[in-house]
Amino acid sequence: MKHIAIDARDSGTSTGRYVDKLIEHLHAINPDYSVTVLTKPHRLEYISQIAPRFTAEVCPHKEFSFAEQIGFKRQLDALKPDLVHFAAVQQPVWYKGTVVTTIQDLTTLRFRNPAKNPIVFVFKQQVYRWVNHRVINTSKLLITPTEFVKQDVIQFSGIDAAKITVTHESADDLPTPAEPVAELAGKRYIMYVGRPTPHKNLERLVQAFGLLQKQYPELHLALAGKKDANYQRIENTAIQQGITNITFTGFVSDQQLRWLYENCQAYIFPSLSEGFGLPGLEAMRHKAPVVSSNATCLPEVHGDAALYFNPLDVHDIADKINTMISDEQLRQAYIAKGVAQAATFSWRRMAEQTLEVYKKALED
């Protein structure tokens, strides 16, 4: 029986949702392979629960570290798998075995993070560029979450399109009961959830909200996500510009996120660059109408179920949000289209397609 190792060090993070769902649904498929899942110590019990027939093994080596390059490689060499699936580009670049790599996006190559030391960040960005080039060329096969990312990788590296398989991701129902966010209970609000890094384009969303306030003084903007230096920068900018009614919720639980989706006037997705755009699909699944950027992969994922704007045009962002929240019949139409669009995606199908990639990598 062939032996497959899956790098799940990202398990339990927002970006690790992909590998968690892959493992869960691969286990349900019950593939004719021996599978070892490599994960951080605190996720060992979780992996054992969702995939009890797989072997869960501790892999403590931090991403983008010397320990990854030396210790993780040594661990893989000792394990001697027939195939390793790295769920992200961070991996021991000198590992010589058969590899499948998932590339979620190339966003980090294009945008800087003002919360980081600029000199250090630029250096790391160049290292990351080199790592991407090497991984793309040394992996037997690649997986991307959208056709957009596939074409982006081809343009970046010049590799053959036949080497890349697109496996769309999906969204889940969040747990019940929904738990209200106290600061927003009883208020009319639009929302965003996620990180506040520059490519998320929250500065323009805040500016667009400032324009909307002239027409909707009672409207609130909820920005949900763990508070950090970038969120503080955005909050300071809003204060300087006199824009009020913005609620920075900080981290929210899944039950609180469900409540936010279910009670918002609209979910706003202002991003300049995404690999898949899971929150928009998640919002649709929970009956939130979506007003979205038309950039990168978002039209591919959202289809005709979102109202699109130019993410570089603050007035267009404000106009499209206004269009959505001022017309209840239109809102309900987009809610219905969103529910239908979200239902076309499947984690099970993603796992089945990934299994076919494994078979192809092992047979060639």
Considering the domain architecture, whether residues 138 and 261 belong to the same structural domain is answered as no
132 and 208 in a single domain? The answer is no
Phi/psi of residue 113, each to 5°?
-110, 110
177: in domain = no
175 within some domain:
no
Q: At residue 26, what is the residue type?
A: L
Q: Is the separation of the CB atoms in 12 and 42 below 8 Å?
A: yes
Measure the CA–CA gap between 74 and 143, rounded to whole angstroms: 25
In this prediction, residue 168 carries a pLDDT of 97
For the cut 60, the answer to whether the pLDDT of residue 307 exceeds it is yes
Distance between CA atoms of residues 138 and 147, nearest Å: 21
pLDDT for 119 equals 63
- Provide the pLDDT for residue 300: 97
Specify if 176 maps to a domain.
no
Q: What angle (nearest 5°) sits at the alpha carbon of residue 195, between those of residues 344 and 6?
A: 60
Say if residue 195's pLDDT is above 90. no
Q: Are both 23 and 59 inside the same structural domain?
A: yes
The pLDDT of residue 210 is 96
CB 63 within 8 A of CB 9: yes
Joined together, the tokens standing for residue 200 give 């998320």
- Shared-domain flag, residues 46 and 123: yes
pLDDT for 140 equals: 97
**How buried is residue 297: exposed, middle or buried, by Cβ count under 10 Å (0-12/13-18/19+)?**
buried
The letter for the amino acid at 136 is I
Average pLDDT score over residue span 221-228: 92
Three-state DSSP class for residue 41: helix
Q: Based on the fold, state whether residues 127 and 146 are members of the same structural domain.
A: yes
What predicted TM-score, i.e. pTM, was given to this entire model? Answer: 0.93
The distance of Cα 55 from the centroid of its chain, to the nearest Å, equals: 26
The one-letter amino acid code at 268 reads I
Domain presence at residue 143:
yes
- The stretch 238-255 carries a mean pLDDT of 93
The per-residue pLDDT for range 48-99, each reduced to its tens digit, is 999 999 999 999 998 878 888 899 999 999 999 999 999 999 999 899 999 9
The beta-strand segments (E) located in the chain are 3-7, 34-39, 55-58, 83-86, 99-102, 141-144, 164-166, 189-193, 220-224, 246-250, 266-269, 290-293, 306-309
Per-residue confidence (pLDDT) for residue 65, from 0 to 100: 81
Query: The domain that contains 275 carries what CATH number?
Result: 3.40.50.2000
Q: State the Cα–Cα distance between residues 59 and 44, nearest whole angstrom.
A: 9
**Is 150 within 8 Å of 161 (Cβ atoms)?**
yes
Number of structural domains found in the chain? 2
Same domain, 295 and 338: yes
Same domain membership, residue 338 and residue 227: yes
Q: pLDDT for 46-62, tens place per residue?
A: 999 999 999 999 999 98
45 CB burial (10 A radius; 0-12, 13-18, 19+): exposed
| Per-residue CA distances from 188 to 112, 209, 224 (Å) | 34, 13, 15
Identify whether the C-beta of residue 172 lies closer than 8 Å to the C-beta of residue 257: no
Give the residue ranges of DSSP H helices in 214-288.
229-240, 254-263, 278-285
15 and 88 part of one domain: yes
Residue 63 is assigned to a structural domain of this protein: yes
What is the Cα–Cα distance from 27 to 46, expressed in whole angstroms?
13
Contact 315, 211 (CB under 8 A): yes
Least Cα distance to 145 among 360, 361, 362, 349 occurs for 349
Residue 358 has pLDDT above 90, yes or no: yes
Q: Is residue 252 part of a domain?
A: yes
Residue 25 amino acid letter: H
What's the pLDDT band for 115 if we cut at 50, 70, 90?
low
309: which strand partners?
293
Range of the domain at 58: 3-170+346-363
Q: Who contacts 189 (Cβ-Cβ below 8 Å, separation ≥6)? A: 219, 220, 221, 222, 247, 263, 264, 265
Same domain for 147 and 193? no
Q: Are residues 331 and 290 in the same domain?
A: yes
Question: What is the tens place of the pLDDT at every residue in 137-190?
Answer: 999 999 999 999 999 999 999 999 999 999 999 999 999 999 999 999 999 999
Cα–Cα distance, 150 to 328 (Å, whole number): 37
Amino acid at 19: V
Same domain, yes or no: 165 and 192: no
Whether residue 356 sits in one domain with residue 325: no
